Chains A and B, each alone.
Chain A
């Protein structure tokens, strides 16, 4: 039985099941979302108008017992960047779609009235249910309601108040295994695209699902066993390894020691106070409070970098505090208190906001005079402006660049309208090349040059060396493959170091699809995905001039290295030439 596409027409309030076309048979995740968006969405359309679509697609191996493979891609034209977007999330929701043999959900058209809807998907079909009673409510309360109404085993995808405002900083929120609204396909404002169709929630009940069709069980088992061994052997991904012990927050002290952790709206790269919000500090507190660490964002993850952060009394769980979230809502705003950061992260989850874009928005708002740097209470109050849907809230919800313009700030750390995450490109040049050239806007996951640049110092991997086109290109291509297959990006640590792990990934895909792909096919697959995305952006009006970092980063020295971003335009333009 082939995988299906569920096409959701919000104007007619009807769904149609289509067999996944032959041309899409070997696609999943980002490869599938970007291909569908490129084929079906006019590049010049208004992101919030009737012609845009939201596409959700699990990876090829998602829903199987392959380790750390519960990933979902969400695609569309981004209201934040104006270009194509793929936002990626780890959640049981993805695995449910995989097991129900749903290759993609395409949400199109717009409702004619002002009603919001919930789409329920079961193995027997779909149902639209009016969702107006949850409009204007925080997602922690709503997700409890939904689990009460539809059962605790459901998977939930939802958008919050930020999306009701059509904010460019609104994400799609998925439940974690505890039911908390803490797993986000956060970047690029795709929450607003879903809300602008009139769809507020998708609830999935996989009861009776047939499971992922595996064409060659023997090859699949052999591949997953190799990958499992690599993940278990590698220092970064094994039990008791860096991610398992400290989560992504392990990077706070490392990047701070390296001088690349942006403080005070990208003003300097080091501050001793950062240690107070480090992975070590967080792990110690979670243990003391009775939170959960390590923790998987989806069933079957062997890396388990996630966690459940709580208030000091061990109550009111927030969910995970990721490295980028802690940095954005913490040091970048000169806030060095984990409990304040935890409450800011809770507010983001509750409102349906991307934590990275929110933190950078707050820092720019502080620079614009809306609050003092370091003032956690004022930051929480600013997020309440979004909840109350005030004019100030409507500015903030549209992200860093919009807020900077509204308040006369010139130091705006964005590329293609999307804010940079937790690594300053002046101190770590290769990540700057990725920020500049990724079709997604400033996105660290698109080509994670950090591991090579911080840890490798020779030749092109020296973090201050400006010849980084090849490094960034190779990593962006590898990332596009991993995002399409459905594995967590963190398997890259193991499979790039241990060749059997990489073979295992390819064999697991061959097992599911019945294909004969080899290691040599990987670059081609990744390049095709990126080429599709860049073509969309070009048709949407992007040129090489959009592949640039903001002016202040080329001129303002960044302590303690006192470097500027001095990668040449020619080097940037050589990353992708089609």
Chain B
């Protein structure tokens, strides 16, 4: 089962043939054999961290160095959908595990 990536808001338009209706995310499935970290997904689909606000890996708020594998769900929200208090803000990264 591949990694399912769900892109929200303005990020939906990044996929060349995004096919969303109303509030639905654009969904792309990526083979996990070539992906180790969230940052690999970013490279694969061509987005920068500065364009994003929240990344959730299996419902957990995560950073670019979070490990991912086949079967994981990764949700990525754009910069203008961020709602956070930065002072209390820490992402789960690979080296936190």
Query: Which B69-95 residues sit within 8 Å CB-CB of chain A?
Result: 75, 77, 79-92
CA distance A253 to B60 in the complex (A): 14
Asked if A456 is at the interface of the complex by the 8 Å CB criterion, the answer is yes
- Indicate if the CB atoms of B22 and A456 lie closer than 8 Å: no
| In contact, A455 and B83 (Cβ under 8 angstroms) | yes
19 A-B pairs within 8 Å (CB atoms) are namely: A235-B79, A240-B80, A242-B80, A250-B83, A252-B23, A254-B54, A275-B22, A450-B83, A451-B85, A455-B84, A456-B84, A456-B88, A456-B90, A457-B60, A457-B61, A459-B90, A461-B90, A493-B84, A561-B59
Are B82 and A235 in contact, CB atoms less than 8 angstroms apart? yes
A253 to B24, CA, bound (A): 9
Q: How many A-B residue pairs have CB under 8 A?
A: 114
* In the complex with contacts A235-B53, A457-B92, A461-B88, A253-B25 CB distance below 8 A: yes
Chain B residues with CB below 8 A from A500, complex form: none
Contacts A257-B59, A461-B88, A461-B90; is A455 near B54 (CB within 8 Å)?
yes
Is there an interface contact between B61 and A275, defined as CB atoms closer than 8 Å?
A: no
Q: Are A451 and B59 in contact (CB under 8 A)?
A: no
B81–A246 CB distance below 8 A: yes
The residues of A that contact B6 with a CB separation of less than 8 Å are 257
Contacts of A258 in B (CB 8 A): 56, 59
Instruction: Give the chain A neighbours of B75 by CB distance below 8 A.
Output: 257
- Chain A interface SS verdict (over half): helix
Chain A neighbourhood of B23, CB < 8 A: 252-253, 275-282, 284
B32 at the interface (CB under 8 A from A): no
Residues of A within 8 A of B90 (CB): 456-459, 461
A236 in contact (CB, < 8 A): yes
Interface residues on B, range: 20 to 34
Interface of B is mostly: mixed
By the criterion CB–CB under 8 Å, are B83 and A251 in contact? yes
Interface assignment of A384: CB less than 8 Å from any CB of chain B: no
- Measured between beta carbons, the chain A residues less than 8 angstroms from B25 are 253, 275
With CB as the reference atom, state the residue of chain B lying closest to A474.
Answer: B88
Which residues of B does A touch, CB under 8 Å?
6, 8-9, 22-25, 53-54, 56, 59-62, 75, 77, 79-92, 96
Q: What's the nearest-Cβ distance from chain A to residue B81, in Å?
A: 5
Smallest CB gap from A251: residue in B: B83
Contact, CB under 8 Å: A456 / B81: no
Residues in B whose Cβ lies below 8 Å from that of A452? 84-85, 88-89
- The residue of chain A having its C-beta at the shortest distance from the C-beta of B90 within the complex is A458
* CB pair B83 A242 closer than 8 Å: yes
**Chain A: residues with CB nearer than 8 A to chain B?**
235-236, 240-243, 245-246, 250-254, 257-259, 275-282, 284-285, 450-452, 454-459, 461, 492-493, 496-497, 560-561
User: Please, how many angstroms separate the alpha-carbon atoms of A283 and B75 in the complex?
Assistant: 20
Contacting residues, chain B, for A236 (C-beta < 8 A)? 82-84
Q: Which residue of A lies closest to B25 (CB)?
A: A275
**A257 pairs with B56, CB closer than 8 A:** yes
Known: A236-B84, A457-B90. A281 touches B77 (CB 8 A): no
Q: Are A497 and B85 in contact (CB under 8 A)?
A: yes
Chain B nearest CB: distance from A445 CB in Å?
A: 14
| Cα–Cα, bound, A358→B86 (Å) | 34
Using Cβ atoms and an 8 Å threshold, which residues of chain B touch A276? 22-24
In the complex, what's the smallest C-beta–C-beta distance from B82 to chain A, in angstroms?
5
A254–B87 contact, CB under 8 A?
no
Most buried by B among A285, A450, A497: A497
- Chain B residue nearest to A496 in the complex (CB): B85
Chain B residues whose C-beta falls within 8 Å of the C-beta of A459 in the assembled complex: 90
